């Protein structure tokens, strides 16, 4: 499944949670999303090494997604690949970028991968 091919535009973020019950071994970030085309589901980013949340609050709106993509070129991704060479060679490392419509927020997640639960 290709991250960039998911129906992101106008899907809404219902919740975001961080799971670290086994820190350093299985750090994950879970989004509950109401997908525009298929309804409620979860996307789980696993083996997360870093995340940046630039979120804007105070608006009474649902958080709809403008776009999302797995990006190849990112300064932090290049630095993480250099610093975490063993991890990268074993698991790979991707940068997932999510931009929102409603609050002009941006989320970057640096993780080995993702999985969908519907």
pLDDT digit string, tens, across residues 19-66: 998 888 889 999 999 999 999 999 999 999 889 999 998 888 899 999
CA–CA–CA angle 50, 53, 58 (5° rounding)? 165
CA atoms of 46 and 44, how far apart (whole Å): 6
Structure tokens at 111: 């993780």
pLDDT at 89: 57
Residue 9's alpha-carbon distances to 23, 89, 106, in angstroms, are: 32, 33, 14
CA atoms of 30 and 17, how far apart (whole Å): 5
Label residue 73 by pLDDT band (50, 70, 90). Answer: low
Over residues 79-118, the pLDDT tens digits come to: 777 776 666 555 678 899 999 999 999 999 999 999 999 8
pLDDT at 93: 82
Structure tokens at 84: 């975490």
């Amino acid at each position: 499944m290709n991250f960039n091919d998911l129906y992101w535009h106008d899907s809404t973020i219902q919740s975001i949670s961080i799971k670290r019950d086994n820190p350093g071994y299985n750090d994950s970030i879970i989004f509950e999303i109401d997908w525009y085309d298929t309804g409620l589901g979860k996307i789980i980013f696993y083996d997360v090494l870093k995340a940046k949340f630039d979120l804007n609050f105070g608006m009474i709106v649902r958080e709809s997604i403008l776009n999302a993509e797995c990006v190849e070129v990112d300064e932090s991704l290049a630095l993480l690949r250099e610093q975490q060479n063993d991890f990268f060679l074993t698991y790979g490392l991707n940068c997932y970028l999510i931009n929102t419509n409603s609050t002009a927020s941006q989320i970057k997640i640096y993780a080995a991968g993702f999985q969908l639960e519907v």
